């Protein structure tokens, strides 16, 4: 989206009773949010990790999240960002389930990243005591996936 069109959209939101405007086009997505006297604009091009901010508005600090329960045992963490799958194909048996014994180097899940299926192996032998991620859920680098005792 070119700057002239973006400026026109900002002016439109500023001069109207519209509080928020979001437009998606082939080359990206623009979201304009009006707060008090300042207009905030975020523009993200396709496949961009972070959206550059063109004009910043005061942002309230997020509410404190409740404390997560302490995880005990050995934690298998995600080595990458992607989509978590418990099985190699839809309808197939899970690679690792609660109560199952796993060996070091055994595949416990698959993480899809950029259309590539990556088998994630256990780095510790033991019994799976907890699966911390739902099938099909997006995961971050370093996010806990399994607990092994």
CA–CA distance, 108 with 93 (Å, rounded to integer): 11
* C-alpha pair distances (Å), 143 with each of 30, 44, 82, 133: 29, 25, 11, 9
Q: Which residues contact 16 (CB under 8 A, 6 or more apart)?
A: none
For each of the domains in the chain, give its residue range(s) and CATH number, in order of start: 3-55 (no CATH), 74-148 (2.40.50.100)
CA–CA distance, 45 with 26 (Å, rounded to integer): 9
Phi and psi torsions of 34, nearest 5°: -100, 125
Specify which residues 148 forms β-bridges with: 74, 128
Residuewise pLDDT in 10s, the chain (149 residues): 677 777 777 777 777 777 777 777 777 777 777 765 544 555 555 544 444 445 545 555 555 555 555 677 889 999 999 999 998 888 889 898 899 999 999 999 999 988 888 999 999 899 999 999 999 999 999 999 999 98
CA–CA distance, 143 with 131 (Å, rounded to integer): 12
CA–CA distance, 18 with 24 (Å, rounded to integer): 17
Quick one: pLDDT at residue 60?
54
Element (H, E) at 21: strand 20-25
Quick one: pLDDT at residue 111?
92
Quick one: pLDDT at residue 69?
58
The order of strands in the sheet holding 116-121 is 116-121, 107-113, 82-85, 138-139
């Amino acid at each position: 989206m070119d700057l002239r069109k973006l400026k026109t959209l900002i002016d439109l939101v500023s001069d109207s009773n519209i509080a928020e405007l979001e437009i998606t086009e082939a080359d990206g997505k623009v979201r304009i949010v009006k707060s008090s006297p300042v207009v905030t604009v975020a523009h993200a091009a396709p496949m961009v990790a972070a959206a550059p901010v063109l004009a910043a508005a005061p942002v309230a600090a997020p509410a404190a999240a409740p404390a997560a329960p302490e995880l005990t045992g050995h934690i298998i963490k995600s080595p990458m960002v992607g989509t978590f799958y418990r099985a190699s194909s839809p309808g197939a048996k899970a690679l690792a389930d609660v109560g199952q014994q796993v060996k070091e180097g055994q595949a416990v899940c698959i993480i899809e990243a950029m259309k590539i299926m990556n088998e994630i192996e256990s780095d510790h032998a033991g019994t799976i005591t907890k699966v911390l991620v739902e099938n099909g859920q997006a995961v971050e680098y370093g996010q806990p996936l399994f607990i092994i005792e």
